[in-house]
Amino acid sequence: MNIKRNVLLNPGPATTTDTVKMAQVVPDICPREKEFAGLMKGLRSDLLKVAHAPEDQYTSVLFCGSGTINIDICVNSLVPEGKKILVVNNGAYNSRAVEVCQMYHIPHIDLRFSVFEQPDLGEIEKALIANPDVAVVYCCHHETGTGVLNPIREIGALAHQYGAIFISDTTSSLGMIPFDIVKDNVDFCMASAQKGLMAMSGLSFIIGKTDIIKASKDYPTRSYYCNLYLQYEYFEKTGEMHFTPPVQTIYATIQALKEYFEVGEDAKFARHRAVYEAIHKGLDELGFETVIDPKIESGLVVSVKYPDDPNWSFEKVHDYCYERGFTIYPGKISTTNTFRLCSLGTIVPKDVEDFFVVLKDALQHYSIQL
């Protein structure tokens, strides 16, 4: 089968291999069959390996939904009665956790920092000292809205020092930046299949400490469909998801994990890094400015300033590139007009070089000066 290859420079879903695409074409199966439960068992244990999570302390729980379902579940399920969650907030994805708190009326602290910088550890410590009722600290690993990589190991250590658990949204870093859930002081992390694992959208998962999930049985229940303990318990009892799983996405994810382990964590990280460097090089050559100091960039997302030319139109340039097989993505910074170029997916530096030829043509075509 010949499938058109698109180079996705958006922050997920990512460009996938044809073998992952084709893995979805399987005989129809009822997901309540033992055969399917067996597939999910293997998948759950492979996900632990991606996070280097020891099986005797951590478990993975699967959900049907986009990545945001994980934020919803972790936030609504893991805050005990009478306790608070501290959200270390330096961008749009951390703000999403704050919005979940607001929606469920969960006591929370929205500790805000500049979106252009890493959060300040001293300020986090001050907030923890001032609020001994904080039971959960929350922070994104990679803030996808800007490209800033957050110092989660240090934030996790602070959380633990003050008796709180640490949840990190690793949706846009897991499987791309080497991550070790124990060394990184993370109690719960999360991701969805279509980003770092380069599978399809529809499957999300949380990896976390089994004893904390068990303890959360007695925490306030704030959702029926999105409760971490209920889904965990159902998996433990039956090996199945409580409700219908995204069957074909699960087949694709199993294939994607096979390819992930074949390539290896370090080689995959090096490839994403090389793509990221090619993005910066191409931007420099054309005269684009970026907004985040590369020293704190994840190497997965680059936020690019709009050129200061009235001829610039993100939509027109996007469409020009899109028609030629390259997808670029709008920014997520409210104070500065930006677009994003990302190094997720099964792409290589040559794809980025090809993209910059097209981008240069687009600039010429619309007489955009830099």
Ligand X SMILES: *Cc1c(COP(=O)(O)O)cnc(C)c1O
Token pair recorded at residue 158: 């602070």
Comparing C-alpha atoms, which of 304, 302, 285 is closest to residue 353?
285
12 is an interface residue for ligand X by CB under 6 A: yes
Query: What is the pairing mode between strands 203-209 and 58-64?
Result: antiparallel
Neighbour tally for 250: CB within 10 Å:
26
H/E stretch holding 285: helix 265-286
Contact with ligand X (CB under 6 A) among 63, 93, 113, 219: 93
Smaller CB separation from ligand X, 184 or 240? 184
72 is an interface residue for ligand X by CB under 6 A: no
Map residue 355 onto helix, strand or coil.
helix
Question: What is the smallest separation between the CB atom of 90 and ligand X, expressed in angstroms?
Answer: 12
Question: What is the smallest separation between the CB atom of 305 and ligand X, expressed in angstroms?
Answer: 21
Q: What is the CA angle 93-99-101, rounded to 5?
A: 115
67 is an interface residue for ligand X by CB under 6 A: yes
User: Do you know the residue count of the chain?
Assistant: 370
Question: What is the smallest separation between the CB atom of 199 and ligand X, expressed in angstroms?
Answer: 13
Site residues for ligand X, 181-240, by CB under 6 A, read 192
Tell me the site size for ligand X, rule CB under 6 A.
12
Smaller CB separation from ligand X, 76 or 192? 192
150 is an interface residue for ligand X by CB under 6 A: no
Smaller CB separation from ligand X, 61 or 362? 61
66 is an interface residue for ligand X by CB under 6 A: yes
Q: Which ranges of 51-180 would DSSP assign to H, the alpha helix?
A: 68-77, 92-104, 121-130, 152-161
298 is an interface residue for ligand X by CB under 6 A: no
331 is an interface residue for ligand X by CB under 6 A: no
> How far from 294 is each of 4, 183, 211, 328, 355, CA to CA, in Å?
33, 24, 38, 20, 21
Q: Residue with structure tokens 């980003």?
A: 195
Contact with ligand X (CB under 6 A) among 98, 124, 169, 292: 169
**DSSP-assigned beta bridge partners for residue 205:** 62, 191
Radius of gyration over every alpha carbon of the chain, rounded to an integer in angstroms: 21
Question: What is the smallest separation between the CB atom of 337 and ligand X, expressed in angstroms?
Answer: 20
345 is an interface residue for ligand X by CB under 6 A: no
Contact with ligand X (CB under 6 A) among 171, 216, 227, 255: 171
**Interface region with ligand X, contact rule CB under 6 A, candidates 41-49, 169-177, 312-320, 342-350:** 169-177
Site string for ligand X, 126-145 (x = CB under 6 A): --------------x---x-
Residue type (1 letter), 116: F
Beta carbons within 8 Å of 314's beta carbon, 6+ residues apart:
306, 330, 339
What CA–CA distance (Å, rounded) separates 230 from 209? Answer: 15
Contact with ligand X (CB under 6 A) among 16, 59, 172, 216: 172
**DSSP-assigned beta bridge partners for residue 60:** 207
Smaller CB separation from ligand X, 230 or 300? 300
253 is an interface residue for ligand X by CB under 6 A: no
Question: What is the smallest separation between the CB atom of 126 and ligand X, expressed in angstroms?
Answer: 25
**DSSP-assigned beta bridge partners for residue 297:** 148
342 is an interface residue for ligand X by CB under 6 A: no
Binding site for ligand X (CB under 6 A): 11-12, 66-68, 93, 140, 144, 169, 171-172, 192
